[in-house]
Structure 1
Amino acid sequence: MTLIGATMVSKISAGPDQVHLRLLATTDLHAHLLPFDYFTDTPTSGVGLAQLADLIRAARKNAPNTLLFDNGDTLQGTPLADATFAEVLPNGDPNPMIVAMNGLGFDAATLGNHDFDFGLDYLQMSLSAARFQLTLANVHQPDGSPFLPERTLLKRRVTDGSGREHELQVGITGVVPPQVAAWSKPSVDGKLRFSDMTMAAATQVAALRDEGADVVVVLAHSGLGQKDAAAGAENTASQIAALPGVDAVFAGHTHDLFSHPGEAGRAPLVQPGAYGSHLGLIDLILEPARDENRWSVKPAQSATPSLPARVQDQDPQSTHLLSDLPDVRSQVDEAHRITRTHVDRPLGHSAVPLETLFSTIAPCAATQVIADAQRAAALPLIAAHPELSDLPILSAAAPFRAGGRAGPENYTDIPAGDLKLRHAADLYIYPNSLCVLRINGAGLLQWLERSGSIYNQIDPTATEPQKLINHSFAPYNFDRITGLTYQIDVSQPPQTDPEGHHVDEAASRIRNLRFEDGRAVGPADEMLIVTNSYRAAGGGHFPSAAQAIMVKTSSISVRDAVAKYIAQSEQSLAPTVQPSFSLTPLGGVDLLFETGPAAEKHKNRQAQLGLRAIEEDEDKQGFTPFLLTL
């Protein structure tokens, strides 16, 4: 056995006529290049492509026939991406993520949905510097021509167990969720067409086989999904792994960790987390087939190795990372410097902490600022439609960094004091545009039911504390809607699972839904709701949002609206936190509420919410547990 990071991976020994081919992949890096948290301006550990380079080198060391891929969502996600968009590329310098990928010797890559967030010009400028192959099977221009090559055939010299060389042809294709057409509509509408992932992959896999591919790999920027997923589904990696002719699949998009070694009728399938926390690994053994011009491909193992957590006590510029690539290191250091300067611009001041550590059990100041900023930016847009003047105006805001699959460090925790641009980016991490929808009470109720699925179902008769939060649910899908008051009854089952699939359409958790003036919200009542372009398109599996009437879209991003709102505040921010949602009392049931370790320093907030510290739970996975009596 060979130790790679924190994961034991078996060393593969190829026979005299066998070829051991190792496939490595990153996914959902989201512009995490260095192990540095630009939101807090401090070094971190366990993330970043530069830190993952150590693991890539280790995986290559005992496998001379190795290919390295990236599975998309690479160019957006941290202030490094924002600074690259605003300053690096406009200055004529290459995208630092692409620079690092070139230096590390990536062989091929596909795109993810967030790679379209900054628009096609930014995307194409970034990709123009790539020295690796790019492929995307299910995205085409209006005339039918592919946006990127639909497939690519890599020719590589490999050695077998006896040291003899062979030429191997490795076919690569990639796919991205077709929902990008809606999620990034301002950027792609009329410019690109998106089709079903499984069908597109099947077509390109067959073409690669016809062109002589010995091995076929699919880079599926898609979660595992259901094997019977309908056409056009967002997550179809499991379907793709069952396609004839596929030898290996790397999944992504949902930030999960998954590894399946493959079996009859199903190729090995690996999903290596996000942010550079893990590396995807699939080992294949190739043996000569009866046809001497072909190889028989057999899976040997699959894994998601990770580096042990390391505490970085200095700025990444002074660490060893990428030190063997001095040209790359120099460009990365400069991008890092530009980013820190970019996000250090002053905006204003806050009289109160802005944190999301308790945002899933009670309304908080952080989401109130987002909701207020959205509403302020939308009012001039709504004023242009006098026929809408009598409709209530609501605002939907989610705590983007509030635990979930990203773990216990994934929380916003901005202390009272001066606010800078990095704090606005911390509150709102995506470049989504502002939208105003017209929706009725029935649609609003479904919206809230989906958000309320973040909670586990609680048994009021149980005597032992039960975990309240389902950490598999992405917190950016927990919309709190201001302009309303409502309760969430967690003793009832959720309508959906974390991925948005309906598990009980008749389930109902939302109680006492009222406008802020106390009027009950009826199914036919109409209102306006300010939200973002991702949610307006149904992103996060909110079909009622997609079915609502679009009143107005704006070129301004919600994050820019938040920054402007902070900068234009004449006094220190002290948001009045609207009551909006609360949890229905259950007669004194003890619940286990798990949040980030930073919650321990917010004693006043703990007291306000009636939280009681308890002994650490062995199964807490790094979260800090509290008791909450409901």
Structure 2
Amino acid sequence: MRLRHLAAIGAAVAMGLSASPMTSTAQAAPTDSGDLTILSTTDIHGHVFNWDYFKDAAFADSTKGSSSAPLGMSRVSTIVKDVRAQRGADSVVTLDNGDILQGTPLTYLAAKQPDTLASEDVMARAFNLIGYDAVNTGNHEFNYGLGRLDSFAKQLKAPLLAANVVDTATGKPLDGATTMLTRTVAGHQVKVGVVGVTTPGSAVWDKANLDGKVDFLDPVTTADQYAASLRAAGADVVVVLAHMGLDETNPSPIYKNLPENAATSIAQKVHGVDVVIDGHTHQDVVSTVVDGASGHKVLITQPDYWARSVSDVRIPLSFASGKAAVNYGSVATWATAKYTRDVAEDSSFASDPVLATDHKATVSYVNSVVAKSTTAMSTEKSMVEDTPILDFIGSVEARTVADKLKGTKYEGIPVIAQVSPFSRTASFPQGDVKIKDIAGLYVFDNTLAGIELTGAQLRDYLEYSARYFRQVSPGATVNPAPQADGGDTQAVVDGKTIWDYNYDAVTGVTYSIDISKPVGQRILGLSWQGKPVTDDQKFIMAINNYRMNGGGGYPHVTSAPVVWNEILEIRQLLIDSASKAGTIDPKDFFVKDWFLTTTGETWPAGDGTTPTPTPTNPGTPSKPGEPSQPGKPSQPGKPSQPGKPSQPGRPGLPHTGV
């Protein structure tokens, strides 16, 4: 990969001293005070337009939290243009905080089938049209490998940053570490230093793409080092782009004893920083103020994901002493959110021939028919009951791995599969099933692998997955809504919500989950072909790369023997399988493997039949939400996530993908 790292910090700073292309040549008479504006976005995940490719329709107008719409870069462009016109382009800095290259069928085609799109990189084109001044590297930038990232970086006019992502051969940043921008505020030149760091979780989630090629350093100490260098080079204001969320309570290390999220620590411990722009967790947190290491307050701001908002930070500056001085007494009032739902689309951006052509090509792609379904299938209740649509995924995964193991020493070992309910709204219609339907079911760009587990390890795995459910009273009716909405799913454990993409069902074995019992005692009747699973029994688990590499923190999987891994994309395997069969019929793959209970029922029943599981409450609606993988998946994404595919969340979509 072409290295765009900085040979020396001083050289990087010197290179960045030139004014942005947006800087006006007109000079106003100097005054003693004025505002520097920092506009920022994060976790855009390929949402150039207000278009849901999975539904082949515009996102419905909404002002509600994570479903806010209209959204997209075409409206971000309107906001940026308006602010520049109102305040003077030469006083405005425009930044993005990463998770750009994954999240929609548009970004999938750009990475995997670029010949179907225009020759110019679609995401670089969108960023260049708006005129960003610097762009950070998110975890989902690594999903398609370093070649895809490098192609984007070459066509992006703004510097691409990630100070803590270093080339293992040189020990230097893979792309850029910092940039220095010169702006004019109240007739005075102001130097704005920008540092970019990203979550070290990518070393785990995209190990196959990164292992041996790049390493991830501590983002806090790295940001502190580069912020000091920018101050020494004359920066009046320092901004850290941190592709990670606020610090978590009792965080688990994600890589080399580093946490996934450390934006709070960056604001508190990095000397000389004024503003931290965070992201990755797909939250809309306009203003968080903490005490910084340099004796003044520091602002943390996170724009809403999928280009739903722009964080508008106005930093008051005084020039009474001849040099820019920040008014830190007003930090709590610096940030406001400008929502894309409140503005019209920028017509010149939307009519750009490259973007318009690529959007049209993507719409055509997702409407390609791949098979016919004999019946309608939905994921609506897939988190609380075994459903045919999830078994469709599991059957393709298990069959693929079993076929690949033929002729090896692993042939004959039972193959099982883990499947997560990424979406509560995905469905297959009766009749034509299109690519958009399968893509809406499997929203993250995960790949498939096979690992070996013992029966004891499988039980641990399932018990860990069952943390997803809130403990209820014996005999209670299960409410499929999230705990935050009064339901029994998406339980909050140690202060952290377990999102849908981090709940796994396993096909190929039978079991029940008694959520009236404490975690660790919930998995009942774990059997294979009607016989109890023994501790030393061997299984091959078909598993996605996010989970295998540690996404979600599942036990045993990161150290389990990998028996097969050809890095085949699960979504494409689903498309190919459906296309080859021509028909999707639940009788070909659906087997009821598991159910929830609150009264101890499990397999096998005394008469050899499956017992009746505890009913769910159909009167309590599931919260649709959106896939968010922070790791995800938007990975999530926590698509992101996720979190949010945003990654796999992920959406940040976590936080992938998942």
CA distance 1:583–1:227, shift in 2 (3 Å): closer
The corresponding residue for 1:258 is 285
CA distance in structure 1 between the partners assigned to 2:377 and 2:558 by the alignment: 30
Q: 1:400 aligns with which of 422, 445, 461?
A: 422
- Confirm or deny that 1:23 pairs with 2:35: no
The corresponding residue for 2:383 is 360
- Secondary structure of 1:224's counterpart equals coil
The corresponding residue for 2:154 is 128
CA distance in structure 2 between the partners assigned to 1:58 and 1:464 by the alignment: 49
Q: CA deviation at 1:514?
A: 1.1
Q: CA deviation at 1:423?
A: 2.3
Q: 1:268 aligns with which of 288, 299, 321?
A: 299
CA distance 1:457–1:56, shift in 2 (3 Å): farther
The corresponding residue for 2:490 is 470
Cα deviation per residue 1:197-220 (whole Å; 9 max; x = unaligned)? 222222222221222211111111
The corresponding residue for 1:9 is none
The corresponding residue for 1:296 is 326
Q: After the TM superposition, which residues 576-587 of structure 1 pair with which residues of structure 2 at under 5 Å, given as runs?
A: 576-586=589-599
Cα deviation per residue 1:91-129 (whole Å; 9 max; x = unaligned)? 662222221211112111111111111122122112221
Q: After the TM superposition, which residues 439-518 of structure 1 pair with which residues of structure 2 at under 5 Å, given as runs?
A: 439-459=453-473, 466-470=486-490, 472-492=497-517, 507-508=519-520, 510-518=522-530
CA distance in structure 1 between the partners assigned to 2:314 and 2:515 by the alignment: 44
Q: CA deviation at 1:417?
A: 1.3
Cα deviation per residue 1:49-95 (whole Å; 9 max; x = unaligned)? 21333344455455443222111111111111122224446766222
CA distance 1:186–1:486, shift in 2 (3 Å): same
- Secondary structure of 1:324's counterpart equals helix
Q: 1:35 aligns with which of 29, 50, 74?
A: 50
- Confirm or deny that 1:50 pairs with 2:36: no
Q: CA deviation at 1:143?
A: 2.0
The answer (yes or no) to whether the contact 1:227–1:236 under 8 Å persists in 2 is no
CA distance 1:457–1:158, shift in 2 (3 Å): farther
Q: CA deviation at 1:586?
A: 4.9
Cα deviation per residue 1:551-573 (whole Å; 9 max; x = unaligned)? 22113111111111111215443
The corresponding residue for 2:426 is 412
The corresponding residue for 1:332 is 355
Identity of matched residues, %: 28
The corresponding residue for 1:150 is 177
CA distance 1:55–1:444, shift in 2 (3 Å): farther
CA distance in structure 2 between the partners assigned to 1:547 and 1:510 by the alignment: 24
Matched residue type, 1:581: W
The corresponding residue for 2:570 is 558
CA distance 1:289–1:477, shift in 2 (3 Å): farther
Q: Which runs of 5+ in 1 are unaligned?
A: 1-14, 160-164, 311-319, 403-410, 494-506, 589-606, 624-630
The corresponding residue for 2:339 is 306
Matched residue type, 2:37: R
The corresponding residue for 1:277 is 308
CA distance in structure 2 between the partners assigned to 1:153 and 1:367 by the alignment: 49
Deviation larger for 84-93 or 362-371 = 84-93
The answer (yes or no) to whether the contact 1:487–1:581 under 8 Å persists in 2 is yes
CA distance in structure 1 between the partners assigned to 2:551 and 2:477 by the alignment: 38
Q: After the TM superposition, which residues 41-190 of structure 1 pair with which residues of structure 2 at under 5 Å, given as runs?
A: 41-45=56-60, 46=69, 47-60=71-84, 62-64=86-88, 65-88=91-114, 93-141=119-167, 142-159=169-186, 165-190=187-212
Matched residue type, 1:336: H
The answer (yes or no) to whether the contact 1:228–1:239 under 8 Å persists in 2 is no
CA distance in structure 1 between the partners assigned to 2:349 and 2:443 by the alignment: 30
- Confirm or deny that 1:547 pairs with 2:559: yes
The answer (yes or no) to whether the contact 2:478–2:614 under 8 Å persists in 1 is no
The corresponding residue for 2:637 is none
CA distance 1:210–1:306, shift in 2 (3 Å): same
The answer (yes or no) to whether the contact 1:261–1:301 under 8 Å persists in 2 is no
The corresponding residue for 2:542 is 530
TM-score (norm 2): 0.77
CA distance 1:364–1:260, shift in 2 (3 Å): same
The corresponding residue for 1:428 is 442
Taking only aligned residues, the RMSD between alpha carbons, in angstroms, comes to 3.1
Q: CA deviation at 1:577?
A: 2.7
CA distance in structure 2 between the partners assigned to 1:443 and 1:288 by the alignment: 64
CA distance 1:304–1:441, shift in 2 (3 Å): farther
Q: After the TM superposition, which residues 346-385 of structure 1 pair with which residues of structure 2 at under 5 Å, given as runs?
A: 346-385=369-408
Cα deviation per residue 1:209-247 (whole Å; 9 max; x = unaligned)? 222211111111112123775542111111111122111
The answer (yes or no) to whether the contact 1:227–1:239 under 8 Å persists in 2 is no
CA distance 1:258–1:586, shift in 2 (3 Å): farther
Q: CA deviation at 1:532?
A: 1.1
Matched residue type, 1:51: R
CA distance 1:390–1:214, shift in 2 (3 Å): same
The corresponding residue for 1:502 is none
CA distance in structure 2 between the partners assigned to 1:44 and 1:279 by the alignment: 18
Matched residue type, 1:177: T
Q: CA deviation at 1:515?
A: 2.7
The answer (yes or no) to whether the contact 2:72–2:340 under 8 Å persists in 1 is no
Q: CA deviation at 1:443?
A: 3.1
Q: CA deviation at 1:28?
A: 1.0
CA distance in structure 1 between the partners assigned to 2:288 and 2:201 by the alignment: 29
Matched residue type, 2:359: H
CA distance 1:609–1:226, shift in 2 (3 Å): closer
CA distance 1:381–1:196, shift in 2 (3 Å): farther
Q: CA deviation at 1:438?
A: 1.0
Matched residue type, 1:34: F
CA distance in structure 1 between the partners assigned to 2:84 and 2:553 by the alignment: 39
CA distance in structure 2 between the partners assigned to 1:353 and 1:461 by the alignment: 31
CA distance in structure 2 between the partners assigned to 1:195 and 1:380 by the alignment: 40
Cα deviation per residue 1:536-557 (whole Å; 9 max; x = unaligned)? 1011222432122222211311
CA distance in structure 2 between the partners assigned to 1:376 and 1:344 by the alignment: 26
Q: How many residues align?
A: 550
CA distance in structure 1 between the partners assigned to 2:443 and 2:522 by the alignment: 28
The corresponding residue for 2:452 is 438
CA distance in structure 2 between the partners assigned to 1:413 and 1:307 by the alignment: 28
The answer (yes or no) to whether the contact 1:257–1:273 under 8 Å persists in 2 is yes
CA distance 1:345–1:71, shift in 2 (3 Å): same
Matched residue type, 1:286: L
CA distance in structure 2 between the partners assigned to 1:205 and 1:391 by the alignment: 54
Matched residue type, 1:271: Q
- Secondary structure of 1:491's counterpart equals coil
Deviation larger for 22-31 or 196-205 = 196-205
CA distance in structure 2 between the partners assigned to 1:481 and 1:223 by the alignment: 30
